[in-house]
């Protein structure tokens, strides 16, 4: 889910130019996913060399005939077949108006202490804040994928409870009428090979848990073979690509898409919904702190919204105003979902007031107008003029009241108010029909508080460090540990997260900071402490198990590379891996030690001379350090293991195999063998651990894998959910003891 707006803009310009050169004789071709609205409705520009003007019905009619011509021809060119949209098993897609991408790491979704999914708690939160959801994209892979050689399907099976646990979780969503999708990552071709095609693998896994759909990460259309594979598995899935469709033919078997749009004053028309009114688009602008544009465009087009707030563990909560706007627009869309798939959809009907735009949705005995006010000021009075009909009633759905039109000759004039940046909805229906009383009652109650009274201030979510208790100071030098002297230390570090730019909320919030951010620098006093010379080895961890008989409640993947309760022959000096943060803490407590704070780890590795690596500033001795050393170096450094780029990760090196990697203080195996657990940070929605040192494993073929952090000024942010998923073949740990 990582397509950038700037890239879209470039692609859109290129595509628009190509379409204008096509054989179609149209004046208003689509620009990628969007069909521009009538040009007469635009705001005046000082350099346009024309006077401000307004649209008239004739100009809008010309525009509508032009885009209708485009649609008719495109359907013919695509050989369009709408059979999929008539299948009852997939009809839910046509009313899936609100869909969050939800990280499995969200603390409202899973309780690691109780070892259970908390679907009801998650749904209660989104219902309270913005009225609930219709489907959910359950995200379990990126940004942690690539920490080891587990592929996306391995990580799916590593979710708590395995398939049975996931199936129960899906069932819990279904009981609340929420459909469930999981992602596919076709770019994940550098980790463990599944042994069957991606289409077969995802169809098999999702059929087993009863999921409803596939979201195609970075895909411009989910290939047809995924739909076919799900049908062959006896469990047909809905396809939902992230970045639009490579061709209009794909509308026939991709009933949902995401939309990354450019937002102008005049609302655009969804290309894919215009081709097939039953197609559902979820507009996404995940980094925005103000969602007025995407909420208005979605309501105008009768499409959905991606209520994505937990973005790779970075919390970007909707403002109260946006959340309330979503509650109200979704209430109307759900109530009139059958109208919003009308083949008689008419976008941009003529409205009386400049800056007010409406779509018209017509069925047998009802007509709905979905309206948005793009002006920066409220608009009242004459809004909509329609042909006079004696046997109809009109309802202002947004305010929950009946309207009584003013008759002017053969016309009826509808007058109502719309807030600045607001919404409206008008229903016309036969007088013989019962009014939509439940919707009117709900909206009338909501309308007592205007949207403008809700705050539009965005606030970041504060993080807290998980406290680490001090240890008892030893009376003599602990075996296998190095003493680090006290110092005033300039702690300088940054996160290597692929996304998030320099936004507030990215990375971690240290105790001395006011909010999370990517770049950190702080001078602090560090008391003297002892640190393990080497990471904890398999042999040392075995002594802990023999002494305590420790066995975690959630034991999936615990010491996965051991056999029959012990490590493999010859692995005694390899760092222990496949241990969770909780497992590492249990060992440290038994040993009378603790895990290091990140700044302690870095100080022990770096000293006070700001060196780049533990051993100095050169990755290869005598050679300047490259920007990404393990990828750019002509040969591996003698200070770290040889990089492993295979699809199945090789074992880590022995902890004492690279003595040239020693730090100034003589601490060993700090970088390039296995990542090492340090601090944990939490906010209300996410837990994440600070990983240090990087590892020897580098899956190839994609830039989306968990990035390495070999420099001492870098760290990794590893999202935490449950030990079953958190444990990794490339994460180990070392301990510290407080000195007197």
Query: Is residue 99 a part of any domain in this protein?
Result: yes
Query: Is residue 399 a part of any domain in this protein?
Result: no
Q: Output 714 or 41, whichever has higher pLDDT.
A: 714
Chain-centre distance for alpha carbon 739: 43
- 272 close to 93: Cβ distance less than 8 angstroms: no
Tens digit of pLDDT for each residue in 287-341?
999 999 999 999 999 999 999 999 999 999 999 999 999 999 999 999 999 999 9
Query: Is residue 12 a part of any domain in this protein?
Result: no
Residue that terminates a domain, selected from 283, 306, 335: 335
Chain-centre distance for alpha carbon 498: 13
Q: How confident is the model at residue 49 (pLDDT cuts 50, 70, 90)?
A: low
**For residues 598 and 593, what is the distance between their CA atoms, to the nearest angstrom?**
15
**For residues 652 and 636, what is the distance between their CA atoms, to the nearest angstrom?**
15
Whether the per-residue pLDDT at 655 is higher than 50: the answer is yes
Tens digit of pLDDT for each residue in 443-496?
999 999 999 999 999 999 999 999 999 999 999 999 999 999 999 999 999 999
Chain-centre distance for alpha carbon 607: 38
Domain with 604 in it: 459-740
Query: Is residue 50 a part of any domain in this protein?
Result: no
E strands within 284-376? 304-305, 310-311, 314-315, 346-347, 356-362, 366-373
Angle between helical axes of 320-335 and 437-446 (0-180°, round to 10):
170
**Predicted pLDDT at 17:** 43
**Predicted pLDDT at 48:** 65
Tens digit of pLDDT for each residue in 504-519?
999 999 999 999 999 9
Q: How confident is the model at residue 634 (pLDDT cuts 50, 70, 90)?
A: very low
Buried b (16+ CB within 10 A) or exposed e, 223-239: beebbebbeebebbbbb
Q: How confident is the model at residue 44 (pLDDT cuts 50, 70, 90)?
A: confident
**For residues 507 and 513, what is the distance between their CA atoms, to the nearest angstrom?**
12
Do residue 85 and residue 227 come from a single domain?
Answer: yes
Task: Give whole-number Cα distances, 336 to 2, 95, 331, 349, 351, in Å.
Answer: 33, 9, 9, 19, 21
Which H or E element spans position 103? strand 101-103
Burial of 184 (0-12, 13-18, 19+ CB in 10 A): buried
* DSSP-H helix ranges across 252-360: 271-275, 292-301, 320-335
Which position has the token pair 């022959």? 569
**For residues 45 and 38, what is the distance between their CA atoms, to the nearest angstrom?**
16
- 718 close to 580: Cβ distance less than 8 angstroms: no
The token duo for 366 is 């009802």
The token duo for 282 is 């979820």
Tens digit of pLDDT for each residue in 27-40?
999 999 999 999 98
The token duo for 262 is 């450019």
**For residues 64 and 43, what is the distance between their CA atoms, to the nearest angstrom?**
20
- 606 close to 600: Cβ distance less than 8 angstroms: no
E strands within 586-707? 675-682, 687-692
The token duo for 380 is 């009242």
**Predicted pLDDT at 433:** 95
Do residue 328 and residue 464 come from a single domain?
Answer: no
Tens digit of pLDDT for each residue in 197-219?
999 999 999 999 999 999 999 99
Do residue 331 and residue 466 come from a single domain?
Answer: no
| Alpha-carbon dihedral sign for residues 230, 235, 236, 240 | negative
Chain-centre distance for alpha carbon 249: 27
Residue that terminates a domain, selected from 294, 311, 335: 335
Tens digit of pLDDT for each residue in 377-426?
999 999 999 999 999 999 999 999 999 999 999 999 999 999 999 999 99
Do residue 331 and residue 467 come from a single domain?
Answer: no
- Could you tell me which of 585, 546, 540 has the C-alpha nearest to residue 565? 546
Whether the per-residue pLDDT at 631 is higher than 60: the answer is no
**Predicted pLDDT at 653:** 97
Q: How confident is the model at residue 4 (pLDDT cuts 50, 70, 90)?
A: very low
Q: 391: which DSSP letter?
A: T
Angle between helical axes of 292-301 and 320-335 (0-180°, round to 10):
10
DSSP class per residue in 256-270: EEEE-----SSPPEE
Whether the per-residue pLDDT at 16 is higher than 90: the answer is no
**For residues 75 and 69, what is the distance between their CA atoms, to the nearest angstrom?**
10
| Alpha-carbon dihedral sign for residues 340, 345, 348, 353 | negative
Q: How many helices (H) and strands (E) does the chain have?
A: 16, 33
Q: How confident is the model at residue 45 (pLDDT cuts 50, 70, 90)?
A: confident
Residue that terminates a domain, selected from 297, 314, 335: 335
**For residues 73 and 66, what is the distance between their CA atoms, to the nearest angstrom?**
11
Q: How confident is the model at residue 619 (pLDDT cuts 50, 70, 90)?
A: confident
The CA angle 320-322-325, to the nearest 5 degrees, is 110
* DSSP-H helix ranges across 455-555: 538-548
Share of the chain above pLDDT 70, in %: 94
Residue count (the chain): 740
Share of the chain above pLDDT 90, in %: 91
Own/partner long-range contacts of 588-594 (Cβ < 8 Å, ≥24 apart): 588/733, 588/735, 590/544, 590/547, 590/548, 590/550, 591/544, 591/735, 592/471, 592/472, 592/737, 593/471, 593/532, 593/735, 593/736, 593/737, 594/468, 594/469, 594/470, 594/471, 594/735, 594/736, 594/737, 594/738
Tens digit of pLDDT for each residue in 524-576?
999 999 999 999 999 999 999 999 999 999 999 999 999 999 999 999 999 99
Q: Find the mean pLDDT for residues 35-63.
A: 85
Tens digit of pLDDT for each residue in 275-291?
999 999 999 999 999 99
Q: How confident is the model at residue 630 (pLDDT cuts 50, 70, 90)?
A: low
**Predicted pLDDT at 620:** 57
Query: Is residue 327 a part of any domain in this protein?
Result: yes
Which position has the token pair 């970088």? 671
Q: What is the CATH number of the domain that holds 127?
A: 3.20.20.80
Q: Find the mean pLDDT for residues 125-137.
A: 98
- Could you tell me which of 517, 494, 496 has the C-alpha nearest to residue 707? 496
**For residues 487 and 243, what is the distance between their CA atoms, to the nearest angstrom?**
51
**Predicted pLDDT at 25:** 81
302 torsion bin: left (phi>0), alpha (psi -120 to 50), beta (else): left
Q: How confident is the model at residue 626 (pLDDT cuts 50, 70, 90)?
A: low
**For residues 713 and 519, what is the distance between their CA atoms, to the nearest angstrom?**
10
**Predicted pLDDT at 336:** 98
**For residues 721 and 138, what is the distance between their CA atoms, to the nearest angstrom?**
13
Query: Is residue 683 a part of any domain in this protein?
Result: yes
Query: Is residue 42 a part of any domain in this protein?
Result: no
Own/partner long-range contacts of 68-77 (Cβ < 8 Å, ≥24 apart): 69/25, 69/26, 70/24, 70/26, 70/28, 70/29, 70/30, 70/35, 71/274, 71/275, 73/24, 74/24, 74/248, 74/275, 75/275, 77/248
Do residue 475 and residue 326 come from a single domain?
Answer: no
Residues of the chain by 3-state class (helix, strand, coil), percent to 5? 25, 20, 50
Q: How many domains does the chain have?
A: 2
> What is the DSSP pairing of strand 314-315 with strand 310-311?
antiparallel
**For residues 301 and 281, what is the distance between their CA atoms, to the nearest angstrom?**
9
CA distance between the termini of the chain: 50
**Predicted pLDDT at 12:** 45
Q: What is the CATH number of the domain that holds 531?
A: 3.90.1580.10
Angle between helical axes of 224-232 and 198-209 (0-180°, round to 10):
50
Query: Is residue 52 a part of any domain in this protein?
Result: no
């Amino acid at each position: 889910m990582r397509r950038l707006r700037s890239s879209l803009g470039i692609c859109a310009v290129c595509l628009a130019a190509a379409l204008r050169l096509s054989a179609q004789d149209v004046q208003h071709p689509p620009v990628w996913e969007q069909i521009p609205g009538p040009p007469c409705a635009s705001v005046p520009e000082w350099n346009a060399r024309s006077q401000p003007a307004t649209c008239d019905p004739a100009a809008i009619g010309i525009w509508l005939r032009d885009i209708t011509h485009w649609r008719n021809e495109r359907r013919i060119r695509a050989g369009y077949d709408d059979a999929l949209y008539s299948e009852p098993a997939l009809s839910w897609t046509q009313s899936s108006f609100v869909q969050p991408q939800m990280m499995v790491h969200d603390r409202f979704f899973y309780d690691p202490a109780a070892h259970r999914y908390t679907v009801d708690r998650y749904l209660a939160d989104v219902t309270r804040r913005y009225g609930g959801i219709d489907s959910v994209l359950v995200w379990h892979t990126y940004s942690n994928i690539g920490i080891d050689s587990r592929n996306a399907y391995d990580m799916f099976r590593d979710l708590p409870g395995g398939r049975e646990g996931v199936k129960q979780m899906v069932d819990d969503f279904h009981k609340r009428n929420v459909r469930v999708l999981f992602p596919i990552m076709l770019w994940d071709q550098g980790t463990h090979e599944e042994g069957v095609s991606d289409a077969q693998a995802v169809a098999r896994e999702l059929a087993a848990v009863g999921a409803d759909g596939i979201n195609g990460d970075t895909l411009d259309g989910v290939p047809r073979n995924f739909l076919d594979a799900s049908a062959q598995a006896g469990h047909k899935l809905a396809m939902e690509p992230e970045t639009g469709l490579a061709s209009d033919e794909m509308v026939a078997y991709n009933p949902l898409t995401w939309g990354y749009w450019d937002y102008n004053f005049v609302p655009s028309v969804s290309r894919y919904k215009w081709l097939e009114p039953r197609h559902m688009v979820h507009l996404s602008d995940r980094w925005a702190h103000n969602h007025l544009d995407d909420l208005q465009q979605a309501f105008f087009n009768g499409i959905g919204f991606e209520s994505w707030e937990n973005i790779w563990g970075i919390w970007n909560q909707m403002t109260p105003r946006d959340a309330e706007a979503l509650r109200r627009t979704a209430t109307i869309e759900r109530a009139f979902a059958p109208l919003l798939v009308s083949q008689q959809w008419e976008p941009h009907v003529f409205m009386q007031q400049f800056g007010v735009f409406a779509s018209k949705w017509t069925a047998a005995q009802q007509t709905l107008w979905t309206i948005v006010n793009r002006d920066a000021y409220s608009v009242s009075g004459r809004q909509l003029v329609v042909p006079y009909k004696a046997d109809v009633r009109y309802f202002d759905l947004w305010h929950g009241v009946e309207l009584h039109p003013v008759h002017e000759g053969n016309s009826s004039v509808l007058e109502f108010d719309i807030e600045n940046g607001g919404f409206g909805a008008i229903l016309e229906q036969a007088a013989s029909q019962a009014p939509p009383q439940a919707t009117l009652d709900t909206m009338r109650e909501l309308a007592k508080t205007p949207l403008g009274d809700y705050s539009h201030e965005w606030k970041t979510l504060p993080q807290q460090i998980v406290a680490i208790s001090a240890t008892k100071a030893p009376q003599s030098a602990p075996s296998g540990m190095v003493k680090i002297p006290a110092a005033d230390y300039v702690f300088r570090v940054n996160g290597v997260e692929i996304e998030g730019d320099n936004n507030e909320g990215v990375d971690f919030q240290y105790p001395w900071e006011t909010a999370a951010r990517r770049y950190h620098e702080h001078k602090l006093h560090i008391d003297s402490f002892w640190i393990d010379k080497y990471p904890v080895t398999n042999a040392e961890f075995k002594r802990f198990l023999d002494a305590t008989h420790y066995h975690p409640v959630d034991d999936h993947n615990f010491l996965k590379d051991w056999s029959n309760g012990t490590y493999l022959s010859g692995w005694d000096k390899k760092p222990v891996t496949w241990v969770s943060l909780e497992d590492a803490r249990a060992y440290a407590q038994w040993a009378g030690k603790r895990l290091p704070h990140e700044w302690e780890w870095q100080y022990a590795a770096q000293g006070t001379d700001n060196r780049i690596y533990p051993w100095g500033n050169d990755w290869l001795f005598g050679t300047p350090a490259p920007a990404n050393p393990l990828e750019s170096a002509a040969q591996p450094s003698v200070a770290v293991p040889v990089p492993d780029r295979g699809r199945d990760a090789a074992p880590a090196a022995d902890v004492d195999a690279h003595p040239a990697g020693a730090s100034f203080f003589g601490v060993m195996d700090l970088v390039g063998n296995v990542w090492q657990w340090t601090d944990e940070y939490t906010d209300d929605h996410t837990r994440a651990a600070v990983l240090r040192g990087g590892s020897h494993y580098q899956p190839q073929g994609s830039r989306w894998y968990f990035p390495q952090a070999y420099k001492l000024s870098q760290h990794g942010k590893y999202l935490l959910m449950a030990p079953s998923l958190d444990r990794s073949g490339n994460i180990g740990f070392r301990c510290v003891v407080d000195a007197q």
